[in-house]
Structure 1
Amino acid sequence: MHDMEGWQHFLEEDVIPQRNAQIRALHHYYVKNKAWIAAEFTALFDRFCQAVLARQQEGLLQKCAYIHISLLRTSLSEGHPVYMLEASDRETDGKVGLTSFRYEAGWIYGFAEAWDQG
């Protein structure tokens, strides 16, 4: 068997089936827990919107033009997949504005870690 044939065989027989199994496991987890996942994110988003409203009432933020949900690469490199929620108006868009509103997404990345260990 040539190198490329061996590589193709490895991909077809080992890598792709294992990847597909992990994707199915993630999907099953999501389907089973989507109410909890939605409730958790909705509660965070509600607190976030209340904070945005307070900033608007204080005159610190005009009409909200954008809501950004960003994966924090530093946290990801430390093994903690975290997304930050941020709101901006047309004047503040593009400026760095850290907020305390974070969504811990470890449940998603746990499946990728399991694949790495497999």
Structure 2
Amino acid sequence: MDKEEARQHLYEHVLQPALEEQVSVVARLFHDQQERLVAEWIESFRGMCMQIAQMQRRGEKAPIGFIHYSVLRTSVLEGTCTYQIEAYSDDWYWDPAECFARYDARWALQGLTALIELLYERRKMYMGMLHAADVERMVLQHIGAFSQFVTALARDRLRGKSGLREVASFTDAWIEIQLRQS
């Protein structure tokens, strides 16, 4: 068995079944505890809005054009499973005033950590052909299967700016939420 065959075997016989199981666990959690998860997400977003408002009151931040939620791949590998939230003016990446916060998404991304741990252990069966980086790459390809639940929270709550007065208070600009993986 060569490295590619070993990788394919690990993928088909270990990763795929475990991935389905982990996504099912998160889906159940999402549906069973949606009210709590929504409240936590709103509180996190509200904190970001308040930070923006404070910066704008001090004249440090222009009106907001974009808010990005990015899965931090390194946080998944470290087991902290966080998103970085960044607020930009219409100048986007050229906005000189940094404004960022974190959202703890362990509830949604913990399955990725479990998959990495499982594959780290199982890769040993392949007699050194597969390395930690191979496992990480295999698992990180499936971030979307887990981040879809955070995306659903954001989309559902931000329609019509979700009634959060903090959103209306910091800008009249159009807000674009992009959930991306970094």
Query: What's the TM-score bracket when you normalise by the shorter of the two chains?
Result: 0.7 to 0.9
Structure 2: gaps spanning 5 or more residues: 120-182
4+ residue runs over 6 A deviation: none
Q: TM-score of the superposition, structure 1-length normalised? A: 0.73
Q: Distance in 1 between matches of 2:16 and 2:45?
A: 36
Larger Rg: 1
- With CA pairs under 8 Å and 6+ residues apart, which has the higher RCO, 1 or 2? 2
Q: Structure 1 vs Structure 2: percent identity of aligned residues?
A: 23
Cα deviations by residue, 1:41-60 (Å, 9 ceiling, x for unpaired): 10111121111112112111
Q: TM-score of the superposition, structure 2-length normalised? A: 0.50
User: Structure 1 pair 113/79, CA: closer, same or farther in 2 (3 Å)?
Assistant: closer
Larger helix proportion of the pair: 2
Within 5 Å, give how 1:7-18 maps onto structure 2. 11=12, 15-18=15-18
The residue type equivalent to 2:104 in the other structure is E
The residue type equivalent to 2:109 in the other structure is Y
The residue type equivalent to 2:62 in the other structure is Q
Task: Provide the residue aligned with 1:26 in structure 2.
Answer: 26
Matched, 1:57 2:57: yes
What secondary structure sits across from 1:76 in the alignment?
Answer: helix
Q: Distance in 1 between matches of 2:45 and 2:106?
A: 18
The count of corresponding residues between Structure 1 and Structure 2 is 109
Moved more, 13-22 or 79-88: 13-22
